[in-house]
Amino acid sequence: MAQSKILIDTNAYLRLAQTVRPLLFVPFGDNEYCLYIIPELNEELKSRRLTTKFPWIDEKEYLQNRQHTPSLSKKQRNSIKQTFEYLWGYVQTELPGPSKVDALYIAYALELSVPVITDDQDMTELAHAFDAQVMPTLELLKLMLDCGYLDKKTIDGIVDYWRYICDRPANLEQDYIRLFSK
């Protein structure tokens, strides 16, 4: 069976990479779901601010895991570039919130017809404006639970940690109740 690729944005990656290991390029579930980043995330993670706040991102384990990015044809790369330029023009005139990497994620998602995991509300708004698929991090965790990849105790530990460090994804409490209180 072919993989069901899912892109994971910077914030979701930073929230999960230390707990779900390895996070990327590990198929799970009957549909062979597999998480990927885009190459530009590695460039973004070189920022001094991020390396200071998340010193673990430069450890060998994480550097190696982030080498797994979607394979693209030349035609796909060109299409992503064109889509990004269009999206970036929209961001600059209509929705000044998403970063260039956010717009690139949406361009990749549109070209590859795959969802992006993000809790960034500006990025989500951009995705909705162009009919790109997005899911919050908690929906990814629910998918992992349903596939037997993670258990509820691990998910509760992740969510409790986010609450403890005050790094709550948008709509955390509502999404948690909707997804896990059944």
Give the chain's residues under pLDDT 50.
none
pLDDT (0 to 100) of residue 68: 87
Q: Cα–Cα distance between 182 and 124 in angstroms, integer?
A: 26
Q: Is 155 within a domain?
A: no
Name the residue range of residue 35's domain: 4-72+113-137
**What ranges in the chain are assigned the alpha helix state H?**
10-16, 39-44, 48-53, 60-65, 74-94, 100-112, 121-129, 137-146, 152-164, 172-180
Domain count, the chain: 1
User: Considering the domain boundaries, does residue 82 fall inside one?
Assistant: no
pLDDT tens across 100-119, in order?
A: 999 999 999 999 999 999 99
In a domain, 44, yes or no: yes
Q: Is residue 51 part of a domain?
A: yes
Indicate whether 125 belongs to any domain: yes
Q: Give the whole-angstrom CA distance, residue 152 versus residue 138.
A: 12
In a domain, 147, yes or no: no
Q: Is 164 exposed, middle or buried (0-12, 13-18, 19+ CB in 10 A)?
A: exposed
For residue 175, give both structure tokens: 């999404």
Return the DSSP state at 66.
Answer: T
CB half-sphere exposure, 106, CA atoms < 13 A: 26
Check residue 1 and give its pLDDT. 63
Classify burial at 172, counting beta carbons within 10 Å of its beta carbon; exposed 0-12, middle 13-18, buried 19 or more.
middle
49 in a structural domain: yes
Q: In this structure, are residues 153 and 145 in contact, taking their beta carbons and an 8 Å threshold?
A: no
Q: What per-residue confidence (pLDDT) applies to 70? A: 94
Q: How far apart are CA 90 and CA 179, in angstroms?
A: 33
Helix (H, G, I), strand (E, B) or coil at 106: helix
Asked, for residue 46, whether it belongs to a domain, the answer is: yes
